[in-house]
Amino acid sequence: MKRRDFLKYIGVGGAGGVLGFIFGKVSKPPVGKLMPYLIPDPDIIPGVANWYASLCAHCGAGCGVLVKVMEGRVKKIEGNPEHPVNKGKLCALGQALPQTLYNPDRLKKPLKRTGERGRGQFAEISWEEAVSTVAKNLVDLNKSGNANKAYLLTHPLRGTFAKLAAAFMSSLGTSNIYEYELFQNRNLLYALETSMGLDCIPRYDIENTKYLLSFGADFTSTWVSPVLYSDAYGKMRQAAPGNRGKLVQVEPRMSLTGASADEWVAARPGAECVLALSIAYALVEKGYYRGGEVDAWRSALSKYKPSAAAHIADVPEKRIYEIARDFAKTRPSLAIGGETVSSYQDGVSGLTAVNILNHLAGNNGIKGGVIANAAGEKPDFKKGIAALIDDAAKGRVKTLIINNTNPVFTTPDGAKTVEALKAVGFIVSLASFKDETVALADIVLPLDACLEDWGDDEPNPSVGYPCRTLMQPAVSRAADTLGAGDVFLAVARAVGGKTAGRLKAASYADYLKDAWRDEYAKNKRMSAGTLTFDDFWNASLKKGGWWHPVGETKKAMRVSPSAARDAASKGPSMFEGDAKDFPFYFMLYPHHVHRDGRGANIPWMQELSDPMTSVVWGNWIEINPKTAERLGIREGALVTIESPFGKVSAPAYLYPGIRPDTAAMPIGQGHDAYGRYAQGKGQNPIRILPFKNDLRTGAFAVNSTRVKISPAAREGGIVKLEGTANEAGRDIAQTVSVSEYMKMKKEAV
Could you report the per-residue pLDDT of 210-222, keeping only the tens digit for each?
A: 999 999 999 999 9
Mean pLDDT of 614-629: 96
The predicted model gives 323-345 an average pLDDT of 96
Section 604-618 average pLDDT: 94
How much is the pLDDT for 374?
Answer: 77
pLDDT of residue 527: 56
pLDDT number for residue 644: 97
Percent of the chain with pLDDT over 90: 76
When the candidates are 3.30.2130.10, 3.60.15.10, 1.10.15.40, 2.20.25.90, the CATH number that belongs to 3-101 is 2.20.25.90
pLDDT digits (tens, 9 = 90+) for 507-517: 999 999 999 99
CATH label, 111-179+378-457+465-547, candidates 3.40.50.2300, 3.40.50.150, 3.40.50.80, 3.40.50.740: 3.40.50.740
> Across 209-366, where does the E strand assignment appear?
211-215, 246-250, 263-265, 333-337
> What is the DSSP code string of 579-608?
TTTS-EEEEEEEBTTTBTTTTTT-HHHHHS
CA distances from 445 to 133, 256, 435, 481 (A): 11, 38, 13, 8
Torsion of CA 669, 673, 677, 678, to 10 degrees: -10
Task: State the average pLDDT over residues 440-453.
Answer: 98
Task: Quick: pLDDT tens for 664-704.
Answer: 999 999 999 999 999 999 999 999 999 998 878 999 999 99
Q: Is the peptide bond before 407 cis (omega within 30 degrees of 0)?
A: no
Radius of gyration of the chain (CA): 27
Assigned CATH topology for domain 187-371? Dimethylsulfoxide Reductase; domain 2 (3.40.228)
What gap in Å lies between CA 212 and CA 5, rounded to an integer? Answer: 63
* Count of CB atoms situated within 10 Å of the CB of 316: 12
Bridge partners, residue 710, by sequence: 640
Dist. CA 181–CA 165, nearest whole Å: 17
Q: How confident is the model at residue 566 (pLDDT cuts 50, 70, 90)?
A: confident
pLDDT for residue 29 is more than 50:
no
Residue spans per domain, the chain: 3-101, 111-179+378-457+465-547, 187-371, 584-711
CA distance 744 to 564: 47
| Residues 584-711, CATH architecture | Beta Barrel (2.40)
Task: Band the pLDDT of 21: cuts 50, 70, 90.
Answer: very low
The reported pTM is 0.90
Of 546, 370, 378, the closest CA to residue 469 belongs to 546
Predicted confidence at residue 519, as pLDDT, reads 80
Q: Letter for the amino acid at 526?
A: M
* Per-residue pLDDT reduced to its tens digit, 704-743: 999 999 998 777 788 888 776 666 677 777 777 777 877 8
- Cβ neighbors of 343 (< 8 A, separation 6 or more) are 588, 701, 702, 703, 704
Buried/exposed 16-47: b ≥16 CB within 10 Å, e otherwise:
bbebbbeeebbbbbeeeeeeeeeeeeeebeee
pLDDT of 520 reads 87
